[in-house]
């Protein structure tokens, strides 16, 4: 599987709301620098799993719509919109945010990430 396919598979899986699935994609030394509306958030392996657990408590379904994905050497750039369905209203799909992320892949895992997000 190419690194581009690997990253697509990650975002198409339930990893964003299921920490057990997320574990299969993360390098043990993963780092994510996330520039959000709250400023810079620096995440590591444990904080990414914690985030997936938090999201799973609020949302029953997660869907990513990828608009762009490019790969070169060990880097994959992806632009996507993240949609969720809440526990309170599982019939309505809600846009969480738009994201642009660059992932470095090491040992066939997500290793270094640089992400920006914007609410719609």
**Interval 88-117: pLDDT, tens:** 888 999 999 999 999 999 999 999 999 999
Closest to 56 in 3D by CA, of 15, 97, 17, 95: 17
Cα separation, 81 vs 63, in Å, equals 8
Cα separation, 40 vs 17, in Å, equals 21
Please give the angle made by the CA atoms of 86, 53 and 50, to the nearest 5 degrees.
Answer: 135
What is each CA distance from 50 to 43, 67, 85, in whole angstroms? 10, 27, 19
Cα separation, 104 vs 66, in Å, equals 18
Give the pLDDT mean for 50-77. Answer: 96
Confidence of residue 87 (pLDDT cuts 50, 70, 90): confident
The structural domains of the chain, ordered by start, are 3-119 (3.10.450.50)
């Amino acid at each position: 599987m190419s690194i581009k396919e690997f990253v697509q598979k990650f975002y198409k899986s339930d990893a964003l709301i299921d920490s057990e699935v997320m574990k299969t994609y993360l390098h043990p030394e993963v780092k994510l620098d996330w520039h959000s509306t709250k400023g810079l958030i620096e995440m590591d392996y444990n904080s990414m799993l914690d985030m997936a657990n938090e999201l799973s408590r609020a949302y029953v379904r997660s869907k990513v719509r990828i608009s762009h994905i490019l790969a070169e050497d060990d880097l994959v750039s992806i632009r996507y919109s993240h949609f969720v369905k809440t526990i309170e209203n599982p019939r309505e799909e809600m846009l969480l945010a738009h994201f642009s992320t660059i992932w470095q892949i090491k040992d066939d895992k997500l290793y270094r990430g640089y992400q920006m997000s914007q609410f719609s």
